Structure 1
Amino acid sequence: MLFDLFRSFGVNLDLALEARELVRGKTGQEIPGVRVDRERFEHGEVTIVHIIEKAAETIMGKPVGTYITIEAPVLRENHPAAHHEVSQILARQLERFVAHIPEYGNILLVGLGNWRATPDALGPKVIEMSLVTRHLYNYAPQELKGGMRSVSALAPGVLGLTGIETAEIIKGVVEKIRPELIIAIDSLAARSVTRICTTIQIADTGISPGSGIGNRRAGINQESMGVPVIAIGVPTVVHAAVISQDTINAYLEQLQTTPVNAGFNPALARRAIEKVLEPFGGNLTVTPKEIDALIATTAKVIAGAVSLALHPGLTEDDYSYYLH
């Protein structure tokens, strides 16, 4: 039923973990061509979904590749020590994608999203807090120490602000500075409100900005950019249709022993949801009222992790020195 709901409302699942859960919920079996690894840490869990075969790509709606998901509900709490641990876990996972880049390799960070809309401002916020060094390589090499890569950063905005496709802006920069790797950070859409700003996904397949809310833009991936693209994303919104369906399901679970449940019609429920969302063209997303604080926390965690992974020779004191 959920699978049909997502399809009818055009809801795309940005998280590979959720796509797998949805398909498994429909079939009750593991998806052929998919392998899953898990690892627990004190404040959460790391799940790695490997989509290995093309057949699995079709079923999952995700390109062949590796999708690492860090689930840490503690990110929604005021717990700096735990946030630091999550940042270190994220850095270790990122290292597997950047280990092949030499010490003096050139890496481009891209913060996708609209800095004027808080739920979509994660990418630009991460860029604000990231350690960039390309200018030091070019103009102040004496300030560098060992274990620092050449890192540049870009927050290209969105089509509605610039009038230019985001992918076009990034492509122009890539052609000019010729990075060996792009790391793109973006806000995502989830199917569960519990994953808002508690889940971080890393994917080696690139990203399609806006796909989770039905606003698909040109893809940013190795095919379009000519260099590998690592995508880091955090869910910041949930589609209202999904919340409505979950609410109906939860209500019916309380009525399982009554005649009301026996007469439930999924198609009728979808029509009711469509009517509620009609003023918004069926595309309404929901975010919590504290989203500004949650974005600030997750941006800090991601920026710290990216800097740790890209500059392994730096200590935390060094990071503070170079950032300022």
Structure 2
Amino acid sequence: MFSIRTDLALEAKEIYKKQNNKEMPGIEASEYKEGEVKVTSVKVMDDVGEKMMGKPKGEYITIDMPKFVHYDSDTKDEVSKVLAKELGSLIQLEDNMTAMVVGLGNEYVTPDSLGPKVISKLMITRHLKQLVPDKIDEGIRPVCALSPGVLGTTGIETSEIIRSVVEKIKPNLIICIDALASRNLQRVNNTIQIGNTGISPGSGVGNKRMELSEKTLGIPVIAIGVPTVVEAATVANDSIDLVLDALINQSEEGSKFYNMLKDLDKNEKEKLIREVLNPYLNNLMVTPKEVDMIIESVTKIISNGINIALQPALELEDINKYIN
């Protein structure tokens, strides 16, 4: 397999099927549409699926947002409600149990700032439930939040900070938000993945830190991520394939050139691409030029979705009044 970095379980499944002409073993998948929003569930069922997928056993839910979502408020709310529905199916909490939301990433690097930005728009209630319980409705769940920063600016491993806070406040659930990496340009900033197996911060860009999961923290960890970058090698690989497809349709010489490269061993093709790119790009990650606007849009979608899922007693309109 051409080793293209991806954090998306659905993409890993699609790549396997494309290269092997069969479904990945140990995997169950289903999908449905709610309005313009497509939802796909990929479940890693056993050790075979875990090995093939390269991801822990559990469920990975992918929400494909409509292309115009970032320019339409009603569509944003629709996606938020679908996100809340899927997230709510994974949340096993009573009303008095505490949820902690963790925003991973670097707030000073736009494509990596999703986590901290979502934290700033959440309905935080844990302190109110403790300080003014008589003024807070019984149906409001205690929610706290943390944005631990990154190792390069704090000098402290993210997992160390989170573990310390968990030991102190003892939440019943953690929801992590992080920026991901994709292998498909069409999914960048247009896909949300929810997983109930935790997360390994930085794994999509080759900077893997210690995982955050029930195994390491002792409580359930749900991960929410959006692919905001794609590796330059992926862009190059896809571009080459597009050029070859064009050549084969234009001339006999193009067809011969296509067949010559097509017959290359996949490892040789990968080596060729990386040898050409590395002196100039050196593991470059690419993001769309309008990433600033898109991050703000996705921040609103995810924060609203989390707020609805954690506060089922409230409507989105009431939550927005509270936040604003």
TM-score greater than 0.5 by the shorter chain: yes
Give the residue type in structure 1 aligned to 2:291. I
* Equivalent residues, number: 316
The match for 1:284 is 284
1:308 partnered with 2:300: no
The match for 2:238 is 246
CA drift of 1:159 comes to 0.2
The match for 2:52 is 59
The match for 1:321 is 321
Alpha-carbon distance in 2 for matches of 1:250, 1:87: 35
CA contact (8 A) 1:126 1:299 kept: yes
CA contact (8 A) 2:101 2:119 kept: yes
Name the CA shift for 1:302/1:244 in 2 (closer, same or farther; >3 Å).
same
Alpha-carbon distance in 2 for matches of 1:273, 1:122: 30
The match for 1:97 is 90
Q: Which moves more between the two structures, 267-276 or 241-250?
A: 267-276
The secondary structure found in structure 2 opposite 1:156 is coil
Structure 1 residues 193-213: Cα deviation after superposition (integer angstroms, max 9, x where no partner): 111111000000000000001
Alpha-carbon distance in 2 for matches of 1:154, 1:288: 28
CA drift of 1:75 comes to 5.4
Pick aligned residue for 2:32 from 39, 49, 53: 39
CA contact (8 A) 2:70 2:297 kept: no
CA contact (8 A) 2:188 2:228 kept: yes
Alpha-carbon distance in 2 for matches of 1:81, 1:142: 35
Name the CA shift for 1:315/1:73 in 2 (closer, same or farther; >3 Å).
closer
Alpha-carbon distance in 2 for matches of 1:79, 1:318: 20
Which residues of structure 2 form unaligned runs of 5+?
none
Alpha-carbon distance in 2 for matches of 1:168, 1:281: 33
Alpha-carbon distance in 2 for matches of 1:316, 1:188: 27
Alpha-carbon distance in 2 for matches of 1:74, 1:83: 11
Alpha-carbon distance in 2 for matches of 1:320, 1:253: 49
The secondary structure found in structure 2 opposite 1:254 is helix
1:18 partnered with 2:15: no
The secondary structure found in structure 2 opposite 1:119 is helix
Structure 1 residues 271-315: Cα deviation after superposition (integer angstroms, max 9, x where no partner): 442234324674111001100111110110000000000001112
The match for 1:263 is 260
The secondary structure found in structure 1 opposite 2:24 is coil
Indicate the percent of aligned positions where both proteins have the same amino acid: 43
CA drift of 1:25 comes to 1.3
**RMSD value, Cα:** 1.5
The secondary structure found in structure 2 opposite 1:90 is helix
Name the CA shift for 1:151/1:280 in 2 (closer, same or farther; >3 Å).
farther
1:114 partnered with 2:111: no
Structure 1 residues 123-150: Cα deviation after superposition (integer angstroms, max 9, x where no partner): 0010011111001011111231142110
Alpha-carbon distance in 1 for matches of 2:179, 2:289: 16
Give the residue type in structure 1 aligned to 2:292. D
Name the CA shift for 1:280/1:172 in 2 (closer, same or farther; >3 Å).
farther
Alpha-carbon distance in 1 for matches of 2:239, 2:222: 35
TM-score (norm 2): 0.94
CA drift of 1:13 comes to 1.9
Alpha-carbon distance in 2 for matches of 1:193, 1:32: 26
